[in-house]
Structure 1
């Protein structure tokens, strides 16, 4: 298999075809073009985009959003794939690597509602839309009276369902709204202490075949090391817990100098166990140190009562 792009050959970015995914791919395209590369896009529809009547946790997880893109990389139809990092499985298939993590956007969750300014303003028993198990348990910890209803579809579809009156409010990633120029839809951005973000939320990851050293070198100028180290620690928490979208797990790191403060939370969907929250700090300058911090935090979660999912 040819493991390098011929000289002057355009780089091809595989991307989902949602408006947000296209924005993300075009953002990477513009950055690479500014470095002198010729770049084109290959739009694709994934199974995660097609299956909208069931929660991801019941149909195969977030890997449904990346599999088709990986096939395009494997077959040589594309060179790189751009992902929202929170949608990337914690373990990549053999032969693929995360070659670059770009600087993070706002990692917080956003409260979106046409009629209410904040979660506290919602009436008793109000309906809030989300299909994230993490958001579900965190919302229930803040407002046990709320009705949490499933919400699937791309960002525009979710907003349309809200505006059609199917929900009193919905919770979305602030980063996606801001990237699409929809920041005015955010009524309140949750404090991370109230709604701890998902591992990798707000960051873009670029995946390539592991044998593409040429691409790894080309993407190096796009990498943001503080973001990369932070999300590596967050993803290590989830990986150590056996995490996937079927686990209500949150992990978020914040820098204080060279110290990374890593928080994590685990919730019980049945509501029988209290929300488990832990945090820890460490000096982090390498990926190995970041992952060690994440594994330590995961161990503290388990020691505090959180249930991990066995890796299979």
Structure 2
């Protein structure tokens, strides 16, 4: 390919790391590339909680526009930030091998776990699961890129804040005072990177196939299908994790109430060949088992 592949990305340290990872992989395959960082709406508004901003794809919309107007050829995203329905004309081109899917607590000592505590997070999912496990605690909203959130935690009286382990690991920011939250269900596709391209750009899409990791693709698609059927988007406390063990897929997922007091969960195993529509089937079971009423309550509370 003679043309330069223009790579769109957000301009945070983590987003740039992700884009440069794709850039390096493409250049190793012999392709010329150019990095084009932009600021997203989600990065510009750090005061308002995400669920109050009222649109999906808040971290991807600016890059979507840049791609649809021909300013970039591909965009690199944290896949958990990408809406389950992509804009018309834009398609998934590669899911890179998934990194650490876990959430991690950055803390100032763990004594508060057995007493009252104040936890910072901008995620309804993390908040709900934390309050489910620690009902005597309170939470405070925390926004910004990884570096900004770490600084806000340092300057606050909060007991701790919750981060995605993969984000900290990618830019070597995991501190000693961190604790893996093995019990917390991650956001669908957490730890995975997605590259999107224009549907009609078959040449670029063919090139990106070399970056796709099939097992990761299977797992995140199940998780995102589960999310899509529940109609969660970025505004509901939904956790989901699919993993491949041998020739089987293990799946755990749950929908929580905003205060964490209620949950509808599911846990199943299937053969890999039964993966198509599996996320949808699990979501329907959750909806029919009390999830539909719970989801209606969440939407009413957030509107």
TM-score range, shorter chain: over 0.9
- Residue 3 of structure 1 is matched in structure 2 by none
User: Which secondary structure does the structure 1 equivalent of 2:291 belong to?
Assistant: coil
CA RMSD of aligned residues (A): 1.6
Residue 54 (1) aligns with residue 48 (2): yes
Match of 1:197 among 186, 199, 205: 186
Distance 2:216 2:21 in 1: 17
**2:161 counterpart residue number:** 170
Pair 1:92–1:130, CA change in 2 (3 A)? same
Q: Give 5+ residue unaligned stretches, structure 2.
A: none
* 1:305 aligned counterpart, secondary structure: helix
Q: State the partner residue of 1:136.
A: 127
Deviation at 1:125, TM superposition (A): 2.3
CA spacing shift, 1:82–1:67, aligned 2, 3 Å: same
Are 2:275 and 1:284 aligned? no
1:105-184 alignment runs, 5 A limit: 105-113=99-107, 115-117=108-110, 121-122=112-113, 124-184=115-175
Counterpart CA distance in 1 for 2:14 and 2:134 is 30
- Counterpart contact for 2:109–2:177, Cα < 8 Å: no
Query: Do 2:122 and 2:141's aligned partners in 1 also have CA atoms closer than 8 Å?
Result: yes
Which of 201, 210, 231 aligns to 2:220? It is: 231
Asked if structure 1 preserves the Cα contact closer than 8 Å seen for 2:103 and 2:181, the reply is yes
Are residues 186 and 215 of structure 1, via their aligned partners in 2, closer, same or farther at CA, if it must alter by over 3 Å? farther
- Residue 284 of structure 1 deviates from its aligned partner by 2.2
Q: TM-score, normalised by structure 1?
A: 0.90
TM-superposed deviation, 1:61? 4.3
In 2, the alpha carbon distance for the partners of 1:11 and 1:60 equals 33
Unpaired stretches in structure 1, ≥5 consecutive residues: 1-6
SS at match of 2:76: strand
Question: Following TM superposition, by how much is the alpha carbon of 1:185 offset from its aligned partner in structure 2, in angstroms?
Answer: 4.7
Alignment correspondent of 1:72: 66
Helix, strand or coil for the counterpart of 2:197?
strand
**Number of aligned residue pairs:** 295
Q: Is the 8 A contact 1:232 1:290 kept in 2?
A: no
Counterpart CA distance in 2 for 1:68 and 1:116 is 39
Is the alpha carbon distance of 1:215 and 1:240 closer, same or farther for their aligned partners in structure 2, counting shifts above 3 Å? same
Matched, 1:304 2:300: no
Inter-partner Cα distance in structure 2 for 1:211 and 1:186: 48
Query: 1:22-81, CA deviations, whole angstroms, 9 ceiling, x for partnerless residues?
Result: 000001000100000111110100111111111111103451111110111111111000
Pairwise mapping of residues 33-48 of structure 1 onto structure 2 (< 5 A)?
33-48=27-42
